[in-house]
Amino acid sequence: MNPAIYSEFIKPKDIAINDQFWGAFMERVRTKVIPYQWKALNDKVPGAEPSYCIRNFKLAAELTHPDLYYGVPRDIGFGGMVFQDSDLAKWIEAAAYSLAWHPDGELEKTLDETIDIICNAQQDDGYLDTYYIIKGLEKRFTNLKDNHELYCLGHYIEAATAYYEVAGKRKLLDAMIRYVDCVDKNIGAEEGKLHGYPGHEIAEMALVRLYAVTNDEKHLKLAKYFIDQRGQPPLFFEEETRRNGNTFYWKDSYVQYQYYQAGKPVREQHIAEGHAVRAVYLYSGMADVARLTGDDSLLAVCGDLWNDIVHRQMYITGSIGQSAYGEAFSYDYDLPNDTAYAETCAAIGLAFFARRMASIMPKGEYADVIERTLFNGIISGMALDGESFFYVNPLEALPQASLKDRRMRHVKIERQKWFGCACCPPNLARIIASLGSYVHSANGGSVYTHLYVGSEARLAPGGRELKIKIETKYPWEGQVDISFALEGKAAFSYGLRIPSWCKSFSLKLNGDNAAYSMQDGYALLNREWQDGDRITLTFDMPVNLVETNPHVRDNSGRIAVTRGPIVYCLEEKDNGKELFRLHAGRPEDFTVTYGKDLPEGLCTISFTGKREKDWQDGALYRNLADAAYEDKKLILIPYYAWANRGAGEMTVWIHK
Ligand SMILES: [Zn+2]
């Protein structure tokens, strides 16, 4: 590993987004999703499953401080999932990023008051998990495998560091430092401690993030311990299960402890296995620890896992986790479209992993995956009005199958208001609200732009302030105008990602063709820069027909339509029923239309394809004969926008 090429991604507070595309999503998160989720966390959404999240914290605070009373009856008990605390943490994190983008005194006050309640629930030794505070502290740390204490801790660290970075307020951060101290006293390598690690990963990357704020080696050491200890024989989860009489749900499954990525040491894991969200959260933490400790063996495994996911187990939408069984990876080249699990959180986690890999080595394929997930499999998780959500993101939907085929009972054809297990909506809110932090990265001698998002950013390559302004109508148009503001002159290398979907582009500097070199997917301009320098990058953005490696059974004989980073789909609303009867053929008459028929503007694509005609006799079978086709105008909309106009069929992959 070469530390000289590490580049740090920009922080949300150092970039102001004013992008036509993403600005609308961020505004929706700010004005719709964050207030809506606040209601949901307080059980005030009519018709939605109650969250009990805030109630749990109030009750835990009352139990911790007998003089406190928030109006929650003390005998009411814990409500919701064992990991319910994490939903509030994700909401706090999203709200913090939203404040960076759009200051809001009322929201900040709500945050502070909520943090007061959280801190009132904290125990003297720092412990803070409402499930055990309410149900009995004697049981804490007895089921790290399934009871998510360290998962909730991880999300609270993420929330606390985000709020500290944005608002400079330490109360939640200090509380989390105390909770980490408590965990560190109970779990670790030393004799007398539990030699355990999280059943649902995230604490690993969260502790690294905490370390970046505190510089306390203890925080990095604990993250490294969780990773190094994971899956070491004898298996901690096996011993814990035996010792405490816990259940082991995966006993009769092929996946066993690899459901948790804990069946063998992480350095022996070369194929993505088990629960997909956990997996990519772990790999994100592994990449972080590999970077900070210069651990080449860990980085090599991250590379293997990356390759397995991206080249053999990732949907074209950037979604991952094919199997509803275990919400998990299945096997290489298995990419079923209709039974896909493709959890929104898993695509988000893949973006986390990609960002960390891009920080270690600026290769275009990492940021390509960030872009692929963001524009497709992540934002498909949210309705265009910001008020309903997908947990599962199929690439093919058939209403009657979702209703009557047991294998597809997880596949909803309409977004839901909320979920009992509401991991995805707040996760969406936090990634969209922090989108700015994916745009640029910098180290001493280089600046990279990974995503083309209308924005004004402040960086400091080599300690000198540089402002980068991006203006663009991406992803609908291919032109990106970039300008620099800096005092005096500065020499550094500037890398612009050339997306893998782009086969032709032009790059101009101050109006003239720019001299650049291509390196790992980036066009590099290495020169002395000065105030007012302008770059115009123009991508050709034709409609592409994409096919899949022939190993992929489900896409055999089928194509998908893409333009720029956007994956398209057919919907029943535009193309009628039985979308599987449609054939693309070899069209050349593509029409790209920017329209406003959906809640906001987006590009639709149309072209002349074919539709297989009905048989005259209506028989179910016949001897092979030439099929009869009729010309049919096919109309495609961006995949992320499907299911915004009522329920109906949808497919991404179309017969050739
Ligand atoms: Zn989720």
Name the DSSP letter for residue 464: -
In the predicted structure, residue 306 carries a pLDDT above the cut 60: yes
pLDDT at 545: 97
Identify the pLDDT of residue 422.
75
CB-facing half-sphere around the CA of 616: CA atoms within 13 A: 2
CB 418 within 8 A of CB 84: no
3-state SS string for 86-100: HHHHHHHHHHHHHHH
* For the chain, percent of residues with pLDDT exceeding 70: 98
Q: Is 153 exposed, middle or buried (0-12, 13-18, 19+ CB in 10 A)?
A: buried
State the distance from the centre of ligand 1 to the C-alpha of 345, rounded, in angstroms: 4
Secondary structure of 390-446 in HEC code, one letter for each residue: CCECCCEECHHHHHHCHHHCCCCCCCECCCCCCCHHHHHHHHHHCHHHHCEEECCCE
Q: Which of 214, 246, 233 shows the shortest CA–CA distance to 142?
A: 246
DSSP string across 32-86: IIHHHHHHHHTT-STTSPP--HHHHHHHHHHHH-TT---S--TTS---S-TTTHH
Q: Which residue among 204, 273, 327, 365 is the active-site one?
A: 327
The identity of residue 275, as a single letter, is: H
How many angstroms separate the alpha carbon of residue 39 from the centre of ligand 1? 19
Report pLDDT for 419: 66
Domains defined along the chain, listed by start: 3-437 (1.50.10), 439-539 (2.60.40), 544-655 (no CATH)
CA of 253 to the centre of ligand 1 (A): 22
What is the 203 CA–ligand 1 centroid distance (Å)? Answer: 17
Tell me how far the alpha carbon of residue 38 lies from the centroid of ligand 1, in angstroms: 17
pLDDT of residue 598: 64
pLDDT score of 340 more than 70 = yes
SS3 630: strand
Q: How confident is the model at residue 3 (pLDDT cuts 50, 70, 90)?
A: low
Query: Which strand (E) or helix (H) includes residue 612?
Result: strand 602-612
Residue 272 backbone phi and psi in degrees, to 5: -70, 120
Q: Which residues line ion ligand 1, judged by CB < 5 Å?
A: 343, 345, 423-424
pLDDT of residue 1 exceeding 70: no
- Quick one: pLDDT at residue 47? 81
| Tokens standing for residue 187 | 């779990």
Q: Would the pLDDT of 441 be above 70? A: yes
Calpha distance 210→119 (Å, rounded)? 18
Q: What is the 3-state secondary structure (H, E, C) of 271-340?
A: CCCCEHHHHHHHHHHHHHHHHHHCCHHHHHHHHHHHHHHHHHCCCCCCCCCCECHHHECCCCCCCCCCCC
The 10s digit of each residue's pLDDT in 97-110 is 999 989 999 999 99
Element (H, E) at 129: none
Question: Cβ contacts of residue 175 below 8 Å, gap of 6+?
Answer: 115, 118, 119, 122, 126, 128, 156, 160
pLDDT band at 347 (very low <50, low <70, confident <90, very high): very high
CA quadruple 102, 416, 373, 162: dihedral sign: positive
Separation of CA 344 and ligand 1 centre (Å)? 6
Average pLDDT rounded to a whole number, residues 565-570: 98
Contacts of 386 (CB under 8 A, 6+ apart): 28, 29, 31, 32, 33, 36
Other C-beta atoms closer than 10 Å to the C-beta of 125 total 13
Give the active site residue among 182, 423, 569, 603. 423
Q: Annotate 222-249 with DSSP letters as a single string.
A: HHHHHHHHTTPSSPHHHHHHHHHT---T
pLDDT value, residue 597: 64
CA 381 to ligand 1 center in whole angstroms: 9
In Å, how far are 54, 60, 131, 384, 521 from 79, measured between CA atoms? 10, 12, 9, 30, 49
| 586 Cα to the center of ligand 1, angstroms | 38
Tell how far the Cα of 430 is from the centroid of ligand 1, in angstroms: 12
Counting other chains too, the contacts that 511-514 makes at CB distance below 8 Å and 24 or more residues apart are 511/536
pLDDT band at 420 (very low <50, low <70, confident <90, very high): low
Higher pLDDT, 156 or 423: 156
- SS3 percent helix, strand, coil of the chain, rounded to 5, is 40, 20, 40
- Name the one residue in this structure whose structure tokens are 């009750």: 59
Residue type, 299: L
pLDDT digits (tens, 9 = 90+) for 523-563: 999 999 999 999 999 999 999 999 999 999 999 999 999 99
Residue 639 has pLDDT above 90, yes or no: yes
Catalytic residue at 423? yes
In this structure, are strands 582-583 and 517-519 parallel, antiparallel, or unpaired?
A: unpaired
Q: Is 424 a catalytic residue?
A: no
The C-alpha atoms of residue 173 and residue 156 are separated, in whole angstroms, by 9
Which helix (H) or strand (E) segment holds residue 6: the answer is none
Instruction: Check the CA dihedral 637-639-645-651 and report its sign.
Output: positive
DSSP secondary structure of 152-193: HHHHHHHHHHHHHHHH---HHHHHHHHHHHHHHHHBSSSTTS
Task: Find the 451 Cα to ligand 1 centroid distance in Å.
Answer: 24
C-alpha 4 to ligand 1 mean position (Å):
36
Q: In what order do the strands lie in the sheet with 440-442?
A: 8-9, 440-442, 446-449, 489-497, 522-530, 517-519
pLDDT confidence tier of residue 609, bands split at 50, 70 and 90: very high
Q: What is the pLDDT of residues 155-184, one digit of tens each?
A: 999 999 999 999 999 999 999 999 999 999
How crowded is the C-beta side of 165, counted as CA atoms within 13 Å?
Answer: 27
How would you write 523-536 as a 3-class SS string?
EEEEEEEECCCEEE
- Distance between alpha carbon 167 and the CA centroid of its chain, in Å? 24
Peptide bond into 233 cis (omega under 30): no
Nearest CA to 414 out of 403, 424, 405 is that of 403
342: CA distance to ligand 1 center in Å?
10
- Average per-residue pLDDT in the chain? 95
The SS3 assignment for 504 reads: coil
Query: Please, which pLDDT band fits residue 77 given cuts at 50, 70 and 90?
Result: very high
Average pLDDT over residues 234-251: 97
The residue that leads in pLDDT, 191 or 2, is 191
Mean pLDDT, rounded, for 508-534: 97
Number of H helices, E strands in the chain: 18, 23
Query: What is the value of pTM for the model shown?
Result: 0.97
Tokens of 368: 């390509």
